[in-house]
Amino acid sequence: MSLNRKILLVDDEEGFLSVIKEALEIRGFDIVTAKSAIEAGLELSSKKPDLILMDIKMPGIDGLQACAAIKKNPDTNNIPIMVVSAISEEAQVKRAYKMGISDYFVKPVDIEKLVNRIKETLGIQ
């Protein structure tokens, strides 16, 4: 059962990527993964997702820098971004929301809550 909704999942942790990818695919989402902000940028230029799940702490360009670039680009600024990160500091969370992200989840993430917020954000019943 496909919901025909594509999610770009960006995280440098292989284990996290595979667990979340499988959990979302089981629920009918089409998942594209990227292990860095650079990879995410390449994916965005070829396939426009309905939603982005972004980690913050990654080598090279971090997730917040990537979010800022996505929100500045007129081709991608309307794509909802949810942060899923181990960083729970209030200043970091506030900074992310100021950039225009839709939601912020702290790892380890509750899969059901994440799925419910994704569905809510995408307008899926």
Instruction: Determine the Cα–Cα distance for residues 91 and 43; give it in Å rounded to an integer.
Output: 29
Instruction: Determine the Cα–Cα distance for residues 58 and 37; give it in Å rounded to an integer.
Output: 8
Tell me the per-residue pLDDT of 20-65, one tens digit each, with 9 for 90 and over. Answer: 999 999 999 999 999 999 999 999 988 899 999 999 999 899 999 9
Q: Which residue's entry shows tokens 């090279």?
A: 60
Q: Is residue 73 part of a domain?
A: yes
Q: What contacts 16, CB < 8 A, 6 or more positions away?
A: 55, 107
Tell me the per-residue pLDDT of 64-123, one tens digit each, with 9 for 90 and over. Answer: 999 999 999 999 999 999 999 999 999 999 999 999 999 999 999 999 999 999 999 999
CATH of the domain at 101: 3.40.50.2300
Q: Is residue 1 part of a domain?
A: no
Range of the domain at 60: 6-122
The tally of domains found in the chain comes to: 1
Strand locations in the chain (E): 6-10, 30-34, 51-54, 81-85, 103-106
Shortest CA distance to 38 belongs to which of 2, 5, 66? 66
